[in-house]
Amino acid sequence: MDIETDLVVIGGGMAGLVAGSVAAEAGLDVVLLRKGHGATAQSSGAIDIIGYVPGATAYLMNPVEGLHALSAMCPFHPYSALGRSQEGVPSDPGRVVSRVHSSVQWLKDKSSGSCGALKGDLEENIQAVSLLGTSKPTCLIQETMWNDTPPSHDSVILFAGLRGLPDFNPSSAVKAFMANRPYGEEGPRKAVSCILDVSSSGKPFNLSQIEIAQFVDHDAGLSALANSIGGQVLKTGADYVAVPPILGVERARENRRQLEEMTGATVFELTAFPPSVPGLRLQTSLEAVFRKADGRLLAGHEATEVRQAGDLVQVIAARAPRRTIEIRSTAVVLASGKFLAGGLVGDERGVRESLMGLPIVDSDLIPTGDSRPQRLTGVIPLSPEGHPLFGVGLAFDSSFHPVAADGSPIAQNLFAAGSVLAGYNYAVEKSGLGVALATGFAAGANAAAYVKGVQ
Amino acid sequence: MTDYDVIVIGGGSTGTAVARDCALRGLKTLLLERDDIASATVGTCAGMISSGFKYYDEPDIMDMCSQEVVYFRRIARHIIMKDPILMPFSELEELTRGGEASSFTDEYAKRAKERGVPPVMFLSPEQSLSIEPSLNPDMAACLYYEEYFIDPFRLCLLQAIDAKQHGATIKTYCEVTGIEATKPAKRVTFYNRATRQVECADGKLIVNAGGPWAGKVAAMAGAPLDLRLNKGAHVILDRRIVNVGISSKAADGRWIYLYPHENTTLLGTTALDTWEDPDVIVASHDEIEYLLKSMEWVVPSIRQARIIRTMEGVRPLVPEWKRSEDKVTRGYRIIDHEKDGVDGLISFTGGKLVMCRHMAEAVTNLVSKKLGRETVCRTHLDSLPGNGADVDVLALAAEYGLSQHAVERLRARRGTETSAVLALTKEHPEWKSTICTCEPVIEAELRYAIRNEFPQTIGDLRRRVRLGTGPCQGTFCTFKAAAVLAEELDLSGEQYQLEMIDFLAERWKGKRPPMRGGQLGQEELTQGLYACVANLDHTDLPYELKPWEEAA
Ligand SMILES: Cc1cc2nc3c(=O)[nH]c(=O)nc-3n(C[C@H](O)[C@H](O)[C@H](O)COP(=O)(O)OP(=O)(O)OC[C@H]3O[C@@H](n4cnc5c(N)ncnc54)[C@H](O)[C@@H]3O)c2cc1C
Ligand SMILES: Cc1cc2nc3c(=O)[nH]c(=O)nc-3n(C[C@H](O)[C@H](O)[C@H](O)COP(=O)(O)OP(=O)(O)OC[C@H]3O[C@@H](n4cnc5c(N)ncnc54)[C@H](O)[C@@H]3O)c2cc1C
């Protein structure tokens, strides 16, 4: 055996890193295997708790209300499982809210002061405006995206693009923004756009958000950006400046403060598509939390096999570019993500969990492993109902053990968290990082309790 | 007073070829297309401008096809490419049965030199495998031949643009709803989808190039027209997974193929009689599995390839019934409805992409005769736009600091126009940014296409520049292209958002039927962008259901 440990976490996104950190903080020896980046690093970095009750068209002003509704209406939702103290009892909404609240509070505390520092409150959804000028309800956003006072009726908001950054077209975004009015009727009546000239290399095309953000982390980049924004603020009279998330990778918060001082306007970041800087900041800050708790992160390591004896999983084999290792562990958390990260795979015969072939169910707990993926999709690509395909995953119990068809745990020491779980469609609900956080938090704590119990 | 000498209905390969020929001969021409140029059957075809090799039992047709290939090489060489093709046989006697081999190899050899291809060769398994290692080594021999492929979208568009440059009026998004065969003029009523107005135009003659809808169009004038509608599916793989084309027998003994095509590979095709509305048809699971299963015998690794989408088209065949589809003539018929008492309406049945110029020549001869005009056909002599001197891709790439691949792809669509597109970046260097990374397509080409090629939607841009046709199927270009389109056409905020939703819906039509493998993660990403972050799944925009969505 190459490594012996208390807990192996498979997956290094939000769910795996939170589970691993919580367990390590509880005193466990934790090894985390991460094949690569999953959805967490690709995300916009805004942490959705719950934006829409499944199928609803009106968004939730208050996530707490949403958690209550889910607890009553969607018994198989991962959030609802948090409300059960044992199997077979109804989900207690108060318990759901308090457990989600603890995980949110934990994350806010842990990331405070870091590049991924968060603002927001479980009792209120905010509208995060995207690069397209659309918006979505979300709960926690990074400090550089946050406005203490949102733009009001008299504000002038300037959408500032960067020459050579094709991700963002401010003039089209302004049109959508004015059509959508994400800040409501009280929101700004005037939105304008401009293009800033800020290039690190002098190359005026094919710039990425990340290369600009890295440039802004240097003094030269920051002052170029400040001059450019400052000029436009004078010209347009803007008091809010919406920029793509390029305010920095490591120094974003400090950069923002300086920019605001230098330009006299409120400068904030829009949410963006991958590869987005806030997604990277979130991933980096979660990894820092895990390392700080003395967790061991084995990047580039893909779990290839989990060996089980009786009702316990025991050995995890993993492959890295230049070696293969075997790890004996007292417990395992599976947080391998959905299709994008490779936790689930599918072909014309059906959908499978990729590592152990665990049973797959849909949001109603109906076994769907043998359903052709196409059958789990609807004819319209984007709708509030979403595609059932993205609600499939592992069946699990209230301790976040993956379970067999009869509801019994696959193994006493195997837990699962995050988007590998069935029961919710994060894209339409707006609940992705929130579910990963809350279930990772719960699975990590349960794994720690289990390990301590057997030691 | 009539507005036009000829009104052409339909902007597929046939209709655009007819409009071009009429315009080149000085006839006052109007083309009405219900959707975009090349938006129907022709856009779902393999783009093979075949030497007619497969039609050896119709020597006249084979002859015509190989002559047409010679013309295409003259008028449109910038948008065609040549692919070697291997046809593996498991038993040698298959090759010689009934003297088939000798008759088609002879026919093929006829214009081989003019077409720039070697005569048919027979290769040993070793020779074949050295060309294409993914072949099943269990074979007796391979037949080797070479065929040309054309970008069907560009061909139609260039024919339309050439017609326009010669005085024709091209109206897209204008659906013909009525034909009144009054005398002397015929009145065509159409609904303009852009202006949402009903308009009409008078013409001396009407050419019905409605493809699979030709029967419906003829019926508007009260003329009968029988067609044998036959649908065909393609499965599209994410890259050129084979070096050369492969042709082989399917589960039921029909011929199917695997052709490297642009940056993808096409696996096709099926042939099933259909009575369904061509607008609602998508590939079925059976069609997809039939193609995969059949190709698996000769390319055993085929299922490891990533399937990005399917496409389904309807062939408007000549109405020969009670025989299998492959026994129906590949030729075309011109029907002068004068015989049905509807004077001034002429329809097509049958035909192929490769024959579109020939079909146009024949019908324009008839049109001229009926109009009493002496005209001379020039469509086989005069270049299509962009067909000119060689383009020095390497020099342009160096001059503009762009990748050679990007410039070569640009050249393959635009020929001599390439320099004009790149010149836009002198004033706007930021337009060198890649908007569609799969293909790739730079912003300057999008702007150029929007300004010069009358697209109205992102889907129209896809047909003009192959935007969104690669492995990500529009995930990373839809929003960028929509913004550019909104800027250039001054779309409203609502229209801009609807453009994205519409294009994603159109891509989804083809992505959904074969959903599996790597495309599941890709789709999670697409949902992540457009639903999770952009929230376009929760909008109150006035989205209009697409025909296939309504039918489901
Ligand atoms: C484009 C996009 C944007 C999004 N935006 C938002 C947003 O704005 N707000 C929000 O709340 N949510 C968002 N989401 C959803 C959110 O990102 C996910 O729901 C969440 O990150 C899932 O976290 P996870 O830890 O379960 O999985 P992931 O983050 O996908 O992590 C899975 C991990 O498992 C690893 N892995 C898989 N198999 C193995 C193996 N065999 N061995 C070792 N490691 C393995 C992967 O490499 C990866 O590290 C977005 C998603 C996408 C795709
Ligand atoms: C799967 C498949 C593969 C093929 N492969 C090849 C190949 O490799 N090589 C080859 O040579 N041929 C191939 N073909 C055949 C070839 O594609 C067709 O024969 C040819 O493209 C038909 O062109 P068309 O212009 O007649 O029809 P279409 O392309 O269908 O054009 C008809 C047009 O008329 C328009 N229209 C209809 N009704 C109206 C109305 N009321 N008002 C205005 N406009 C109207 C439609 O919108 C449409 O754009 C293939 C066909 C299929 C289905």
B408-419 pLDDT, tens per residue? 999 999 999 999
Both A423 and A344 in one domain: the answer is: yes
Residue of B352, B356, B359 best suited for mutating to test ligand 2, as the one with most atoms within 8 Å of CB: B352
- CA distances (Å), origin A15, targets A88, A162, A440, B280, B374: 25, 34, 4, 42, 78
In the structure, what pLDDT confidence band is assigned to residue B137 with cuts at 50, 70 and 90? very high
CA B300 to centroid of ligand 2, rounded, Å:
32
Average pLDDT over residues B24-44: 98
A69 and A155 housed in the same domain: no
Assess if residue A123 is contained within a domain.
Answer: no
Closest CA to A30 of A304, A286, A333, A442: A333
Query: Among B345, B381, B365, B385, which residue's Cα sits nearest to residue B156?
Result: B385
Q: Identify whether B269 is preceded by a cis peptide bond (ω within 30 of 0).
A: yes
Q: Chain A neighbours among B 523-552 (CB < 8 Å)?
A: 523-540, 545, 548-549, 552
Domain count, chain A: 2
Q: How far is B511 from chain A (nearest CA, A)?
A: 9
Residues A220, A337, single domain; the answer is no
Res. B435 pLDDT band, cuts 50 70 90? very high
Whether pLDDT at B101 is above 70: no
CA of B529 to the centre of ligand 1 (A): 13
Sign of the CA dihedral with A344 first, then A346, A350, and A352 last: negative
Predicted pLDDT of residue B108: 84
**Does the beta-carbon distance from B493 to A175 stay under 8 Å?**
yes
CB A193 within 8 A of CB A173: yes
Sheet order of strands, A266-269 included: A190-196, A156-162, A240-243, A266-269
Q: Are residues A266 and A301 in the same domain?
A: no
pLDDT at B182: 76
pLDDT tens digits for range B471-489? 999 999 999 999 999 999 9
Of B482, B524, B534, the CB nearest to A340: B524
Alpha-carbon gap, residue A125 to A145, rounded angstroms:
14
Answer yes or no: do A196 and A222 share one domain: yes
| Residue pairs spanning A and B at CB distance below 8 A | 192
Position B97 pLDDT exceeds 60: no
Compute the nearest-CA separation of B373 from chain A (Å).
Answer: 51
Residue A449 within a domain:
yes
**What CATH code is assigned to B83-147+229-313?**
3.30.9.10
CA distances from B109 to B64, B69, B154 (A): 14, 13, 29
Provide the pLDDT for residue A56. Answer: 87
B83-147+229-313 and B3-41+153-227+330-371 share a CATH fold: no
How far apart (Å, rounded) are the C-alpha atoms in residues B450 and B463? 12
A195: nearest CA partner in chain B: B430
A302 and A449: one domain? yes
Interface test with A, best of B235, B280, B284, B430 (most A CBs within 10 A): B430
User: Widest CA span of chain B, in angstroms?
Assistant: 70
* Cβ neighbours of residue B23 closer than 8 Å, sequence gap 6 or more: B29, B162, B163, B164, B166, B167, B168
Find the mean pLDDT for residues A56-71: 96
Q: Is B430–A346 a contact, with Cβ atoms under 8 angstroms apart?
A: no
* Ligand number with the minimum distance to the CA of B38: 2
* Residue B219 predicted with pLDDT over 90: yes
Per-domain residue ranges of chain B: 3-41+153-227+330-371, 83-147+229-313, 433-545
Angle at the Cα of A353 (from A348 to A359), degrees rounded to 5? 95
Q: Which residue type occupies B506?
A: E
A302-335 per-position pLDDT tens digit: 999 999 999 999 999 999 999 999 999 999 999 9
The model carries a pTM of: 0.97
In this prediction, residues A406-422 reach a mean pLDDT of 97
- Sort out which chain B residues have CB atoms less than 8 A from A272's CB and list them: 533
**Angle between helix A252-263 and helix A219-236 axes, rounded to 10 deg:** 40
Neighbours of B134 (CB within 10 A): 17
**B102 band by pLDDT with thresholds 50, 70 and 90:** low
Query: What is the rounded average pLDDT of the residues B497-522?
Result: 97
Q: Which residue is closest to B432 within chain A, CA to CA?
A: A205
The nearest alpha carbon in chain B to A40 belongs to B528
Place of tokens 């912003």: B443
Residues having CB closer than 6 A to ligand 1 are A 10-16, 33-40, 42-44, 46-48, 274, 302-303, 335-337, 340-343, 355, 418-419, 426, 432-434, 436; B 524-525, 528-529, 532-533
Q: Average model confidence (pLDDT) for chain A?
A: 96
Looking at beta carbons, which residues of chain B come within 8 Å of A207?
433
Q: Which atom of ligand 2 is nearest to the CA of B231?
A: 53
CATH 3.50.50.60 fits B3-41+153-227+330-371, yes or no: yes
- pLDDT at position A43: 98
Confidence of residue A181 (pLDDT cuts 50, 70, 90): very high
d(CA B273, CA B44): 16
Question: Which pLDDT band holds residue B181 (cuts at 50, 70, 90)?
Answer: confident
Q: Between vectors from CA B540 to CA A379 and to CA B490, what angle results, nearest 5°?
A: 100
Across B440-461, average pLDDT: 98
Chain A residues close to B443, C-beta within 8 Å: 166
Of A176, A206, A390, the CB nearest to B432: A206
Find out whether B457 and B499 touch, Cβ atoms under 8 Å: yes
A369 and A227 share one domain: no
Domain residues for the domain of A245 are 131-272
Q: What is the CATH number of the domain that holds A231?
A: 3.40.50
pLDDT band at A62; cut points 50, 70, 90: very high
Say if residue B39's pLDDT is above 80. yes
Q: Are residues A239 and A324 in the same domain?
A: no
Report yes or no: A303 at the B interface, CB cutoff 8 Å. Answer: no
- Residues B495-529, buried b or exposed e (16+ Cβ, 10 A)? bbbbbbbbbbbbbbbbbbbbbbbebbbbbbbbbbb
Cβ pair A190, A157 in contact under 8 A = yes
Q: Other CB atoms closer than 10 Å to residue A122's CB: what's the count?
A: 20
Q: Work out the pLDDT band at B99, boundaries 50, 70, 90.
A: low
Taking the CB of residue B194, how many other CB atoms lie within 10 A of it?
10
CA of A255 to the centre of ligand 1 (A): 28
Q: Which tens digit of pLDDT belongs to each residue from B247-285?
A: 999 999 999 999 999 889 999 999 999 999 999 999 999
Long-range contacts of B199-203 (CB under 8 A, 24+ apart): B199/B174, B201/B3, B201/B4, B201/B7, B201/B30, B201/B32, B202/B1, B202/B2, B202/B3, B202/B4, B203/B2, B203/B3, B203/B4, B203/B5, B203/B6, B203/B7, B203/B30
**Scanning the structure block, which residue is given the tokens 């339409």?**
A428
Helix (H) or strand (E) holding A402: none
A20 in any annotated domain: yes
Touching A: B residues 409-448, CB under 8 Å? 425, 429-435, 443
- Cβ–ligand 2 contact at B13 (below 6 Å): yes
* Cβ neighbours around B405 below 10 Å, total: 13
In the numeric block, which tokens belong to residue B388?
A: 């000119």
Domain presence at residue A145:
yes
B507, B535, B549: best to mutate for the A interface, most A CBs within 10 A: B535
DSSP H or E segment with residue A141: strand A140-142
Angstrom CA distances, A437 to A404, B270, B381, stand at 24, 48, 68
Among A59, A175, A180, the residue with its CB nearest the CB of B486 is A175
Q: Per the structure block, which two tokens stand in for B44?
A: 């779902």
A428 and A288 in one domain?
yes
Same structural domain, A79 and A150: no
Same domain, A343 and A429: yes
Q: In CATH, what number is assigned to the domain containing residue A386?
A: 3.50.50.60
The predicted complex's ipTM stands at: 0.98
- Angle, helix B458-465 to helix B443-452, in steps of 10 degrees: 110
Contacts for A174 with CB less than 8 Å, ≥ 6 apart: A133, A159, A191, A192, A193, B493
Q: Does the beta-carbon distance from A175 to B491 stay under 8 Å?
A: yes
Measure B545 CA to ligand 1 centroid, in angstroms: 32
Tell me if chain A has a CB within 8 Å of the CB of B265: no
- What distance in Å separates residue A346's CA from the closest CA in chain B? 5
Instruction: Please check the confidence at residue B1 and state whether its pLDDT lies above 80.
Output: no
Q: Which of A205, A239, A272 is the last residue of a domain?
A: A272
Contact B343, B183 (CB under 8 A): yes
- Average confidence score pLDDT of chain B: 95
Q: Residue B471: which of B264, B259, B241 has the closest Cα? A: B264
Residues in contact with A285: Cβ distance below 8 Å, sequence separation at least 6, in sequence order? A111, A114, A115, A116, A117
Q: Is there a contact between B349 and B332 (Cβ–Cβ < 8 Å)?
A: yes
Query: For residue B432, what is the DSSP state?
Result: G
**Any domain includes A121:** no
What's the CA gap between B62 and B66, in Å, rounded? 6
Query: Of A272, A302, A325, which residue is a domain's last?
Result: A272
The answer to the question of residue A119 being in a domain is no
Higher per-residue pLDDT: A1 or B138? B138
Identify any residues that bridge with B191 across adjacent strands, giving them in sequence order: B175, B198
Query: Is there a contact between A382 and B524 if contact means CB atoms under 8 Å apart?
Result: no
Candidate from A145-159, A195-209, A247-261, B529-543 with smallest mean pLDDT:
A195-209
Q: State how far the Cα of A169 lies from the Cα of A163, in Å rounded to an integer.
A: 10
**Contacts with B306 from chain A: Cβ below 8 Å:** none
- Residue that finishes a domain, picked among A236, A255, A272: A272
Ligand that lies nearest to the alpha carbon of residue B176, given by its number in the listed order: 2
If one compares A426 and B325, the residue with the highest pLDDT of the two is A426
Q: Which of these ranges, A1-5, A171-175, A423-427, has the smallest mean pLDDT?
A: A1-5
Angle (CA) A371-A377-A381 rounded to 5° is 165
A46 and A138 part of one domain: no
